[in-house]
């Protein structure tokens, strides 16, 4: 069932304003849980506002691809969101902690899609032309970082910022099914895991994105960055310092956090 237009726009505006002002807002589910189609409609309305301000979508992200994340947040279904050019920070670049509410950071694998993929195209792993280690900053716009499935989908899957490390060709990167993942803050290890935590093998991210994208209105075009989902639980972003993710045999990516008092 399609949600009423006005309600979709109002919720999109509410979440968009919360992000812009770096303040929390109420969970829609506190009143009535959003159905999945209604939730994606809100997410698309929220993205349309960002696009109207000049932002360009550059990719999609998957959420809850790992058990660690699903357990941490109490949501067990795969979700998809949009990442934009405004959210991207260069590898080694600086993020201002004050632009976020209660940010967390997590190590991910990023894929680069090399050609347009139509919703009913057969699965084709050669559509991936590059792969890289990545960091995602998530920042739920909801009080206490608490949400149900509909809430988090409406909030663009908590997407806030991301960085992608050096791209490698898939053949040079080799099988990424089980590589060690390290998350470090100022050279102190805060999380360890394996790429196997991502859907059993992050190579499953493309088929998952194709399926979710087709179901919920996300285009996978040439040049799309695909964030495959966290390999470990997310950790609170420090007030300042350097956060680095390392994936064995693939490389490392870092961001510097500044701005907090």
DSSP 123: P
Q: Which residue has the tokens 């088929």?
A: 207
- CA 227 to each of CA 9, 206, 209: distance values in angstroms, whole numbers, following the listed order: 27, 10, 10
* Residue ranges that bind ligand OOG, judged by CB under 6 A: 61, 63-65, 69, 73, 106, 136, 138, 140, 152, 157-158, 229-230
Helix (H) or strand (E) holding 142: none
Closest C-alpha among 39, 11, 6 to residue 25: 11
Q: How far is the CB of 156 from Mg ion (least distance, A)?
A: 12
CB nearer ligand OOG, residue 136 or residue 184: 136
The pattern of x and - marking residues 122 through 151 that bind Mg ion according to CB under 5 A reads --------------x---------------
Number of H helices, E strands in the chain: 6, 12
Binding at 140: pick from Mg ion, ligand OOG, none (beta carbon under 5-8 Å per type): ligand OOG
CB nearer Mg ion, residue 27 or residue 65: 65
CB nearer Mg ion, residue 95 or residue 230: 230
Closest C-alpha among 255, 229, 251, 235 to residue 243: 255
Q: Determine the interface stretch with Mg ion among 27-35, 47-55, 116-124, 225-233 (rule: CB under 5 A).
A: 225-233
Q: How far is the CB of 81 from ligand OOG (least distance, A)?
A: 7
- Sheet containing 188-194: give its strands across: 94-96, 251-258, 241-247, 180-185, 188-194
Tokens of 222: 């040439």
CB nearer ligand OOG, residue 138 or residue 243: 138
Binding at 244: pick from ligand OOG, Mg ion, none (beta carbon under 5-8 Å per type): none
User: Of 198, 230, 250, 257, which one interacts with Mg ion (CB under 5 A)?
Assistant: 230
Distance separating alpha carbons of residues 85 and 101, to the nearest angstrom: 20
Residues of this chain that interact with Mg ion (CB under 5 A) are 136, 230
């Amino acid at each position: 069932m399609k949600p009423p237009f006005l309600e979709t726009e109002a919720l999109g505006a509410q979440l968009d304003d919360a992000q812009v002002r770096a303040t929390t807002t109420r969970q829609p589910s506190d009143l009535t849980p959003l159905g999945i189609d209604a939730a994606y409609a809100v997410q698309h309305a929220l993205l349309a506002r960002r696009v109207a301000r000049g932002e360009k979508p550059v990719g999609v992200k998957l959420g809850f691809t790992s058990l660690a994340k699903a357990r941490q947040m109490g949501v067990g279904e795969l979700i998809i969101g949009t990442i934009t050019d405004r959210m991207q920070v260069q590898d080694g670049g600086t993020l201002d902690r004050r632009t976020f509410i209660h940010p967390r950071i997590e190590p991910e694998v990023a894929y680069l899609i090399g050609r347009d993929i139509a919703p009913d195209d057969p699965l084709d792993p050669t559509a991936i032309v590059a792969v890289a280690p990545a960091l995602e900053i998530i920042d739920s716009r909801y009080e206490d970082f608490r949400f149900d499935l509909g809430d988090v989908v409406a909030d663009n899957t908590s997407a806030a910022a991301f960085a992608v490390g050096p791209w490698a060709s898939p053949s040079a990167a080799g099988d990424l099914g089980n590589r060690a993942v390290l998350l470090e803050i100022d050279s102190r290890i805060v999380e360890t895991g394996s790429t196997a935590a991502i859907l059993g093998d992050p190579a499953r991210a493309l088929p998952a994105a194709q399926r979710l994208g087709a179901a919920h209105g996300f285009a996978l075009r040439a040049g799309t960055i695909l964030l495959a989902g966290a390999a470990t639980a997310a950790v609170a972003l420090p007030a300042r310092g350097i956060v680095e993710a390392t994936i064995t045999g693939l490389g490392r990516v870092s961001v510097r956090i500044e701005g907090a008092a």
